[in-house]
Amino acid sequence: MRIIIFGGAGFLGKKLALRLLKVGALAIKGNTPQPISQIILFDRELANGLPDDPRLKILAGDITDTQAIEALLAEPPDVIFHLAAIVSGEAEKNFELGMDVNLHASLHMLELCRKMEGTPVFVFASSCAIFGGELTETIRDDTAPTPQSSYGTQKAIVDLLVNDYSRRGFIDGRALRLPTIVVRPGKPNAATSSFASSIIREPLQGERASCPVGPDTKVWLLSPKRVAENFVHAAEIPAAELGRNRSVNLPGITVTVDEMVSDLQSVAGAEKAELIDWEPDAFIQSIVLTWPPQFVTERALQLGFQRDASFREVIEAFIEDELS
């Protein structure tokens, strides 16, 4: 089985690659498990920190380079994980770049899938940012997308394309609408939600962190570990179980920023929580406050997707996976 991960050098791409290496085989389209023979990680930079495994092939390139993507998909893969994206804050500040990467490159990829032999399983990393604006506080499986950012709009469009290309039989798609992923390893990035990881990650490493939103701000969260597990699970769900709606709101947990800091203090001590500087940022607040804080994800749970038990568990998993 041949698998391609677009955005494979990012923290989620690498988590997913490690998970696939561990499971060793996938059962797609209702078939028996097939051994994974190759996992290609494609990103702007070469993925590092991965084991020396003959099944891994690491490539660097630009997802907007149409010729490079055409060459990569000339040999049809069995499974595509599309995680590549310009993150929320950057897509809001640079409209053209967000459109090129998040929308046009995704459409080009789907068109190549339409023209290839066979029907690849196509797992797309969507986002809960497709919801926003004047909504009820709780989002349900039948809530219509009303994005209030360019990033959320671009994700919502690709969600619809994944559904339609699946309906037409061009791909066997599934679009996973991700909660805010916490705790992200590495350094802060341009994502509007970057603070949610920074206020945990930096203090755990003895560094100061800035929190641009108030302590009562609610955030819908999922850990990187659970995301990787859910991506693998998504690839194996039979099309008949998904039905006509290939978009799934992944399960998560709702916590306030104050609760996050309280759990940090409980796990690592009061001195860590004191490393957080409360510095309001109007631009970040203007986007974060449009995000709905509560989700009811009955469909995802029925399909077998998993969430974290508590935010304390999220912190402990980050310490074990990234700091120990």
Which residue, among 242, 243, 223, has the nearest Cα to 304 in the 3D structure?
242
Q: How far apart are CA 101 and CA 138, in angstroms?
A: 30
Token pair 């109007």 in the structure block, residue: 282
In the set 122, 151, 291, 311, the catalytic residue is 151
DSSP letter assigned to residue 171 = -
Q: How many CB atoms lie within 10 A of CB 65?
A: 13
Outline where the chain has alpha helix (H).
11-23, 66-72, 88-93, 95-98, 105-115, 150-167, 194-204, 224-236, 239-242, 257-268, 270-273, 282-288, 298-302, 311-318
Cα separation, 136 vs 318, in Å, equals 32
Task: Provide the token pair at 95.
Answer: 């409209």
How far apart, in whole angstroms, are the C-alpha atoms of residue 229 and residue 235? 10
Cα 81 to Cα 6: distance, rounded to the nearest angstrom: 6
Nearest to 272 by CA among 168, 198, 213: 198
Distance CA 178, CA 252 (A): 9
151 noted as active-site residue: yes
Are residues 58 and 23 in contact, defined by beta-carbon separation less than 8 angstroms?
no
Q: How many residues appear in the chain? A: 324
Amino acid identity of residue 156, one-letter, is A
The angle, 0 to 180 degrees and rounded to 10, between the axes of the packed helices 194-204 and 311-318 is 60
Active site residues per annotation: 151
